[in-house]
């Protein structure tokens, strides 16, 4: 699978607002399990939310 066929899944920290790519899709289910208990790499907070900060502030 080439890099063009994958999409980034962005997350952000609820405490320090740091954003990062958690993984790229598509992903195997057994690989996905290791991301279930992710923490922020900047402040080690467990308040990790799907989407970028811009997505979080957007109206539904």
Q: What residue ranges in the chain does DSSP mark as E strands?
A: 7-13, 19-25, 48-50
CB-based contact 6:23 (threshold 8 Å): no
Per-residue confidence (pLDDT) for residue 45, from 0 to 100: 95
Would the pLDDT of 60 be above 50?
no
pTM of this structure:
0.72
Per-residue tokens: 1: 């699978």
CB-based contact 20:53 (threshold 8 Å): no
User: Which one has a higher pLDDT value, 25 or 4?
Assistant: 25
Per-residue confidence (pLDDT) for residue 59, from 0 to 100: 42
Q: How does pLDDT run across 8-55, given as a tens digit for each residue? A: 889 999 999 999 998 888 888 877 777 778 899 999 999 999 888 776
Domain boundaries, the chain: 1-37
CB-based contact 10:20 (threshold 8 Å): yes
User: Which one has a higher pLDDT value, 20 or 2?
Assistant: 20
- The overall longest dimension of the chain from CA atoms, in Å, is 35
């Amino acid at each position: 699978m080439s890099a063009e066929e994958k999409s980034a899944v962005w997350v952000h920290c609820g405490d320090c607002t740091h954003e990062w790519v958690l993984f790229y899709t598509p992903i195997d289910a057994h690989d996905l399990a290791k991301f279930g208990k992710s923490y922020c790499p900047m402040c080690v907070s467990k308040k990790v939310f799907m989407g970028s900060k811009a997505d979080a502030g957007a109206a539904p």
